[in-house]
Amino acid sequence: MRKYSIIIPVYNRPDEVEELLQCLVKQTYTYFEVVIVEDGSVNKCEQVVKTFKDKLDIHYYYQQNTGQGFARNTGFSKATGEYFIILDSDALIENDYLSIVENQLNTEYLDLYGGPDRDHPNFTPIQKAISYSMTSIFTTGGIRGSKKNLGGTFHPRSFNMGLSREVYEKTKGFIITRMGEDIEFSIRAISLGFKSGLIPEAFIYHKRRTSFIQFYRQLRFFGKARINISRYFPNELKLVHTFPMVFTLGCFSIPLWYFIFTPFFYLGIIILSIYVLLNFLDSTFKNKSIEVGLLSIIAVFVQLIGYGVGFMSEGWKKLFEDKGFKQTGEQIEYPS
């Protein structure tokens, strides 16, 4: 049995932390500790943590706000386990999550792993729609939840990521705190010879954003982050990553084709209509809800256009900056 250290960076989300801790209390695998790193929150979760002192091996640390990447580094430095698991504070997990991870590592060891995300039955229709857009095969979200993905080698995401202590000691943790910190970390770890993979059964229920405005801001940030990763690893910018940009430009160019070349206008309308219909039918079938199916259409457009706008704006900025510039995200506020 290996000891796990579950590291949770928190920023102004005490209610969500309480729900996640309730999940951890119910774990069937019990050899673990919980490390909470409060990253400069005004609305602290310290009192919530205290209510779990007799239920969990839990440790609370407060620091000035530095961003989620560096908050995780603090968690790494305080952890006593031999294997670290990073979870976002807005995650929920099933009772056998740790047992699944332990069985996987005993069967086929991974130095670095990621797990997919799903929508919970109690999520609101908007949360389910957002979850659909972030995991659908019809969007770039589908790339993250498959062992063989179009983006190349599987790069675990930090909302649900595990790594050995050795990986931390060799990488020294995150060097970006915001703007693609988890992908940069994964690429760097893999480049050092560590084995990475997906554990499909080790999923989380990820709440994400609760409004389309918040979701747009987050995805615009993700688009910027993809460009930022290319500042560190230029070869990691794949053709598939440009899909949201192409989609965005295509959508906004359709009206212009009416005046330039009318057949292209109607062709664009037909293609877009088919795409909308596919997403609607797929989401409606998976969620067994017409309402979620309709909301998923909005979520898909928000996701792709938000990402595309962020991708283009940061890409344009990169054209005019010094070639050696590296963005760590310390001075950038994560969208709320």
Per-residue pLDDT tens listing for the chain (336 residues): 899 999 999 999 999 999 999 999 999 999 999 999 999 999 999 999 999 999 999 999 999 999 999 999 999 999 999 999 999 999 999 999 999 999 999 999 999 999 999 888 889 999 999 999 998 989 876 555 455 544 457 899 999 999 999 999 999 999 999 999 999 999 999 999 999 999 999 999 998 777 999 999 999 999 999 999 999 999 999 888 999 999 999 999 999 999 999 999 999 999 999 999 999 999 999 999 999 999 999 999 999 999 999 999 999 999 999 988 999 998 888 876
- CB-based contact 82:191 (threshold 8 Å): no
Instruction: Give the list of residues 6+ apart from residue 211 with CB closer than 8 angstroms, or none.
Output: 126
Q: Which amino acid is at 249?
A: L
Please tell me what DSSP assigns to residue 153. S
Burial of 213 (0-12, 13-18, 19+ CB in 10 A): exposed
Query: Three-state SS across 212-250?
Result: HHHHHHHHHHHHHHHHHHHHHCHHHCCHHHHHHHHHHHH
By CB neighbour count within 10 A (0-12 exposed, 13-18 middle, 19+ buried), where does 214 fall? middle
Q: Looking at residue 150, what is its pLDDT?
A: 43
Provide the 8-state DSSP code for 143.
Answer: G
The pLDDT value recorded for residue 149 is 47
Q: Residue 306 has what pLDDT?
A: 97
The predicted pLDDT at position 109 comes to: 96
- CA distance linking residue 111 with residue 196, whole number of Å: 6
Which 3 state secondary structure label does DSSP give 35? Answer: strand
pLDDT of residue 143: 52
pTM: 0.91
Asked whether 196 and 189 are in contact (CB, 8 A), the reply is yes
The rounded radius of gyration (Å) of the Cα atoms in the chain is 20
Sheet bearing 204-206, strands edge to edge: 91-92, 204-206, 117-118
Q: What is the sign, positive or negative, of the torsion defined by CA atoms of 323, 328, 333, 336? A: positive
